[in-house]
Amino acid sequence: MNDLDERYMRMALRLARRGAGRTSPNPLVGAVLIRAGRVVATGYHRLAGDDHAEIIALKRGGSAARGSTLYINLEPCNHQGRTPPCTLSLIHAGIRRVVAGMVDPNPLVAGRGVRRLRRAGIEVDVGLLGDECRRLNEAFVKSITRRLPFVVLKLAASLDGKIATFTGDSRWITDEGARLYVHRLRNQVDAVLVGIGTVLADDPQLTCRVPGGRNPLRIVLDRRLRIPLSARVLREAEPEKTIVVTGPRAPRGKIRLVQSLGARVWELPVTQGGISLAALLKKLGRMGLLSVMIEGGADTAGRALREKVVDKILFFYAPKILGAEGRDMIGTLGIRRVSRCTRIRDVEVKRLGRDFLVSGYLK
């Protein structure tokens, strides 16, 4: 493989990202058809149940696709799902070569697509920009292999790690650029999650406010069902997208009132410290959700870290100092020695206007 191969794979990755937030429980996939150094056609997976990326490219390319090379970030499928096997379409179209970024971790595929193409006489190369391809579909990989959604912990704080002043004022710690970035994230994830403390303190909408965006599921952890019936998360459009997760002792009458507003109420087990996040994530995984972004507050962030359910952090820092009396960004973790700390790997730092985004992985 050469520089041109890499160029076209990057094109496929850019196309794949266009489907972010729309394809669950399917992966993000982009496809590029090249023949004689010319782009014949492109495609990307838009919605679950719709044509796969390579099929869209084949349809657009028509007869010109014969003898071309397909660049795709994920191995073509070889099984009957909502759509027929893509490998058969590639063989019938007369594709000469396939360059795939990674093998599909789905046990129904897992190299079978590659083998079928090779048996048909198609040259297949796998692994180009493999790390980037896996990173793009990290949520899909976790979902298909562990049946759990990928969990992102997002927090915004001052440089000294405070999310609000001692009075509870938190608007706005970060600037508009960082807040816009968060709305773009909401457009991509399947669900956002907060604790009842955040609802009581900030009354957030938890919606996506970017042109053409779509709202994720809104999940509120509320063990005693203290959520006010006037809370904005209960009054938004698409009320069925709000899920209030409570404990078995929640008042029956209050449950009915919340449900009457169109929201869903789930009763889940309560462990020491609150609702079991493990039980919640299993339920969301069974629904086919690929990603959940935890947005606060400190107690919820601390519990998520204690229960070791977080896969990735996104910490936004503003160049401001609020002092010791400010409210901490993360609740207690019970760490007695530095050697037992929660470690972050693959750390990256990005500038967003005057703010900074620190990202990294826990697993």
Average pLDDT over residues 177-184: 93
Is-catalytic flag, 238?
Answer: no
pLDDT digits 0-9 by tens, 250-294: 999 999 999 999 999 999 999 877 899 999 999 999 999 999 999
- What gap in Å lies between CA 103 and CA 112, rounded to an integer? 9
Predicted confidence (pLDDT) at residue 237 exceeds the cutoff of 90:
no
Distance from C-alpha of 74 to C-alpha of 29, rounded to nearest angstrom: 6
Measured CA to CA, the distance from residue 156 to residue 164 in angstroms comes to 10
Q: What is the mean pLDDT of residues 310-327?
A: 96
SS3 214: coil
Cβ neighbours of 94 (radius 10 Å): 12
How many CB atoms are closer than 10 A to CB 250? 19
Catalytic residue among 54, 123, 238, 295: 54
Residue in this structure with the two tokens 């014949």, named with its chain if needed: 40
Question: Which pLDDT value is given to residue 299?
Answer: 93
Q: CB–CB of 134/12 below 8 Å?
A: no
pLDDT band at 295 (very low <50, low <70, confident <90, very high): very high
- pLDDT tens-place string over residues 91-119: 999 999 999 999 999 888 888 999 999 99
Which backbone phi and psi does 284 adopt, to 5 degrees?
Answer: -65, -35
- Helix (H) and strand (E) counts for the chain? 11, 18
Q: Which is more confident, 254 or 210?
A: 254
pTM: 0.91
Q: What is the pLDDT of residue 184?
A: 94
Of 273, 267, 278, which is closest to residue 258 (Cα–Cα)?
267
Mean confidence (pLDDT) of the chain: 94
Measured distance CA(204)–CA(216) in Å, rounded: 14
Give the count of beta carbons closer than 10 Å to the beta carbon of residue 232: 16
